[in-house]
Amino acid sequence: MASPGGRRVGRRKETGEDREVSESGQPIFRHRPREKEFELAIGDERSIERIARHIEAHIGKIEMVFHELISDLVHIDVYWVKPTPGRDFHTLITTGMSDRPMTVPEGEGTSPYAELMICLPSSWPISREAFKDEENLLADPAPEDAEPVASRI
């Protein structure tokens, strides 16, 4: 059965429930607007330290941490590992997302706790000047004497 947006409502084989699905038959998950007010978040120091140790043990030396200044729900920082001769790319890793569980579809067998990591080409400009251009790292410009702060990645 087709729905207003050209999508169809179908029955999931696994559960037998009626759900909105894409043309390929995959379920479509819709998120509702948040009803809660702003909730200031402070990072879990123990978790942050454990993740930082893991980064240094398995990925490389942490060059810099981009700190989120004001956090809603979770405090997310982004760790930067510079390219090396053996790893010719920048690596950016979050800390803080795993402080709270995400909503995961039932039956998916996926952990509700996760961090993100992305590898960028070594030619990708990562510098105070480059951060002023959102095409480079999607960061807010900071005064020359301030620590760089990534607000959107």
Would you list the domain boundaries of the chain?
Answer: 7-35, 45-137
> Is pLDDT at 58 greater than 90 in this prediction?
yes
Of the candidates 108, 142, 105, 137, the one whose C-alpha atom is nearest the C-alpha of residue 31 is: 105
Is the model's pTM score more than 0.85? no
Query: How far is the C-alpha of 93 from the C-alpha of 63, rounded, in Å?
Result: 12
Q: Of all residues in the chain, what percent carry a pLDDT higher than 90?
A: 39
**b/e sequence 53-70, b meaning 16+ C-beta within 10 Å:** eebeeeeeebeebbebee
> Average pLDDT for residues 84-109, to the nearest whole number?
90
**42-46, 93-97, 131-135: least confident range:** 131-135
> Is pLDDT at 8 greater than 80 in this prediction?
no
What's residue 136's pLDDT?
74
What's residue 51's pLDDT?
95
What's the residue count for the chain? 153
